[in-house]
Amino acid sequence: MTLVVTVNGVPHERAVEPRLLLSDFLRHEVGLTGTHVGCEHGVCGACTVLLDGEAVRSCLVFAVQVGGREIDTVEGLANGSREELHPLQAAFRDAHGLQCGFCTPGILMTLVPFLRDHPDPDERQIREAISGNLCRCTGYQNIVAAVRLACGAPAPAPAPASPRA
């Protein structure tokens, strides 16, 4: 089948198998490997992208289902710029909201529509918003701090230095 879809504002046309997942289309056909694939079962949230502005798990969508629609991936957040991060990306950097970074693209793409709809969320709302995104590194504390920072809250205090042995 021929698929025509806009990804990060750029139109793409490809012949695809009906069984091809959107996550694999983005990574292997379009070359946007910022969309990560963890579980491929809709559980971990690593593959989250925007479909017409709303967060979806791209491992649960067939590529042929997005014909004529708009997809946004993490690569589009800063308009491809390495120098100018999206404010949410900058907040994650400044608040140490990531460690290995595997979960980060999915968390960012989950938070973009969430913050559009909830510009001043409290901690409970933030934790609920990312409750479908698994992170094995951070313990979530600094992710929440990063979201608060992106919303204009003061930067979190640095963690105390660990005592020397």
Binding mask 9-48 for ligand FES (x = CB under 6 A): ----------------------------xxxx-xxxxxx-
- 136 part of the interface to ligand FES, by CB under 6 A: yes
Listed ranges 6-14, 62-70, 119-127, 129-137: which one lies at the site for ligand FES (CB under 6 A)? 129-137
Angle at 91 between CA 33 and CA 123, to 5 degrees: 105
Binding mask 51-70 for ligand FES (x = CB under 6 A): ------x-x-----------
Kindly tell me which residue out of 73, 89, 110, 138 binds ligand FES, with binding defined by CB under 6 A: 138
Burial of 137 (0-12, 13-18, 19+ CB in 10 A): middle
Per the CB < 8 A criterion, the answer to whether 59 and 39 are in contact is yes
Q: Which is nearer to ligand FES, 80 or 101 (CB)?
A: 101
Scanning the structure block, which residue is given the tokens 């608040």? 95
Listed ranges 73-81, 83-91, 136-144, 154-162: which one lies at the site for ligand FES (CB under 6 A)? 136-144
- Closest alpha carbon to 34 in 94, 77, 86, 92: 77
What gap in Å lies between CA 48 and CA 7, rounded to an integer?
14
- 73 part of the interface to ligand FES, by CB under 6 A: no
What is the chain's alpha carbon radius of gyration, rounded to the nearest angstrom?
17
Q: Which residues in this chain contact ligand FES in the complex, by CB under 6 A?
A: 37-40, 42-47, 57, 59, 98-103, 135-138
